[in-house]
């Protein structure tokens, strides 16, 4: 690792960072390196919020943020940089106001774009460290590949439900993300936080770890988390560490990746692929019309019990996804079945599983209960 340059501190900065200056490992030299440091946050959401707050408070001189989203009320349970008054405004505007108030000595650079292969290299090039707090696989694979190409450290954090992962991927000295996860999962195979939920405080833990690694990297102190993946289980309150080794055949940092063009990551991840007309998709409006006509349809709710209890479609039977293999005998393979869940991911998996076992008349509700509630029946609770 090559340490960055130093930037002199003003007297007010010395007062502000006094608790850092007395840390012998960090001291004035470390603080000046932080001031000269440039960190890019990919995403101003759950992970980006605490990371940005701690990096700004610590005195990282330039904090770039790439995000194109607006603050939604459902973000506030975990995205602590944003407040109620910011709902509906751009996350970048909300974050800039918060960081400016927190520490006027640091500069936030806004990148109001969705990172893709056309802009990623140009944006990442100007930074010393990249923090990946994206909420989708396409961006995560892109950020990794761009970091590999540019020789930048990719500080990784990811969260779901009660568990988080963190590591530092630096292909120059260790593995990259694709040495661990070579290819993205098929679209829909792994749920998002919106689908599976996330404990609000979880990104606070993982985002703070990411900020810690960025500060260590900029200042050259401690032992970077290269080649190690930290697993955090909030329910067990347990940290575990796994070893990640470089893959000689890695598609990103192996010989094949060095000169290959960055691919279209949406295509790589199967995002936005149009569904064939006969593949079982059924819109909320179409299902509503069929029910209104009195068509006989077996509605199967594949969500968990607590979700069923929040609310369900009238006349549905409850068969959680995890119980389908054991209870498949309860379903008539020839009856017209419409499966549904919260957003349409689990019902799609149920459909594929049942179809492979000879069920002939299957459809699933595209967009799940969320679509039903927003487009057909608002009395069905959203959650």
Partner 1 sequence: MPATQEITLFVPGLLRPYCGGRSEIVLTVTDLRDLLAQVEAQHPALYVNLCDETGRVRQHLNLFVNSDNVRDREGLETAVATGDVITILPAVSGG
Binding residues vs partner 1 (CB under 8 A): 43, 45-48, 132-137, 140, 157-165, 180-186, 189-193, 196, 198, 203, 229, 231, 233, 235-236, 240-245, 247, 304, 320-326, 353, 356
Q: How large is the angle between the packed helices 48-58 and 202-219, nearest 10 degrees?
A: 40
CA geometry: angle 334, 338, 344, nearest 5 deg:
140
Token pair of 314 as six digits: 């009238």
Token pair of 304 as six digits: 């968990």
CB-nearer residue toward partner 1: 43 or 367: 43
Shortest distance in whole angstroms from residue 346 CB to partner 1: 10
Dist CA 166 CA 230 (whole Å)? 5
Dist CA 203 CA 95 (whole Å)? 16
Closest CA to 324 of 348, 344, 343, 306: 348
Q: Do 224 and 213 form a contact (C-beta atoms < 8 A)?
A: yes
Beta strands in 161-250 (DSSP E): 163-169, 228-233, 238-243
Shortest distance in whole angstroms from residue 47 CB to partner 1: 5
Catalytic, out of 147, 176, 193, 250:
193
Shortest distance in whole angstroms from residue 103 CB to partner 1: 23
| 341 catalytically annotated | yes
Catalytic, out of 147, 250, 253, 341:
341
Q: What is the dihedral of CA 177, 181, 186, 189, to 10 degrees?
A: -100
Contacts of 264 (CB under 8 A, 6+ apart): 117
Per-residue CA distances from 250 to 140, 178, 256 (Å): 16, 6, 8
CB-nearer residue toward partner 1: 119 or 192: 192
Shortest distance in whole angstroms from residue 225 CB to partner 1: 14
Q: How large is the angle between the packed helices 48-58 and 91-102, nearest 10 degrees?
A: 30
CB-nearer residue toward partner 1: 26 or 300: 300
Shortest distance in whole angstroms from residue 371 CB to partner 1: 21
Shortest distance in whole angstroms from residue 39 CB to partner 1: 16
CB-nearer residue toward partner 1: 172 or 240: 240
- In this structure, the number of other CB atoms found within 10 A of the CB of residue 122 comes to 10
Shortest distance in whole angstroms from residue 214 CB to partner 1: 15
CB-nearer residue toward partner 1: 271 or 298: 271
Contacts of 203 (CB under 8 A, 6+ apart): 45, 46, 47, 49, 50, 78, 79, 133, 157, 159, 164
Dist CA 359 CA 143 (whole Å)? 41
CB-nearer residue toward partner 1: 51 or 287: 51
- C-alpha torsion sign, points 289, 291, 297, 301: positive
CB-nearer residue toward partner 1: 308 or 353: 353
- Point out the residues that are catalytic: 193, 341
């Amino acid at each position: 690792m090559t340490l960055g340059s130093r930037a002199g501190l003003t007297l007010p900065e010395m007062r502000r960072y006094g608790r850092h200056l007395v840390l012998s490992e960090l001291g004035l030299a470390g603080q000046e390196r932080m001031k000269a440091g440039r960190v890019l946050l990919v995403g101003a959401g759950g992970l980006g919020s605490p990371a940005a707050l701690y990096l700004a408070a610590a005195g990282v001189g330039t904090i770039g943020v790439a995000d194109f989203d607006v603050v939604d009320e459902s973000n506030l349970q975990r995205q602590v940089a944003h407040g109620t008054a910011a709902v509906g405004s751009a996350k970048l505007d909300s974050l800039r106001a918060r960081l400016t108030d927190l520490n006027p000595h640091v500069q936030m650079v806004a990148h109001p774009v969705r990172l893709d292969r056309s802009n990623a290299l140009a944006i990442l090039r100007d930074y010393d460290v990249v923090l990946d707090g994206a909420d989708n696989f396409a961006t995560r694979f892109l950020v990794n590949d761009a970091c590999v190409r540019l020789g930048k450290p990719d500080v990784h954090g990811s969260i779901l439900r009660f568990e988080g992962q963190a590591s530092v991927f630096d292909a120059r000295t260790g593995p990259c993300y694709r040495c661990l996860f070579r290819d993205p999962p098929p679209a829909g195979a792994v749920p998002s936080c919106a689908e599976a939920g996330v404990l609000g405080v979880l990104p606070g833990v993982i985002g703070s770890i990411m900020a810690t690694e960025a500060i260590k990297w900029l200042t050259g102190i401690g032992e970077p988390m290269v080649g190690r993946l930290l697993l955090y289980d909030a329910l067990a309150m347990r940290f575990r560490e796994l070893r990640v080794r470089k893959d000689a055949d890695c598609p990103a940092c192996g010989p094949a990746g060095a000169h290959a063009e960055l691919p279209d990551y949406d295509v790589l991840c199967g995002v936005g692929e149009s569904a064939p007309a006969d593949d079982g998709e059924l819109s909320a409006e179409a299902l509503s019309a069929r029910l209104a006509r009195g068509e006989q349809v077996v509605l199967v709710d594949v969500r968990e019990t607590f979700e069923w209890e929040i609310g369900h479609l009238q006349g549905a039977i409850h068969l959680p996804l995890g119980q389908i293999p054991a209870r498949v005998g309860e379903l008539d393979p020839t009856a017209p079945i419409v499966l549904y869940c919260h957003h349409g991911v689990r019902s799609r998996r149920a459909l594929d599983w049942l179809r492979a076992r000879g069920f002939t008349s299957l459809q699933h509700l595209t967009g799940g209960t969320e679509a039903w509630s927003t487009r057909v029946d608002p009395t069905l609770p959203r959650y």
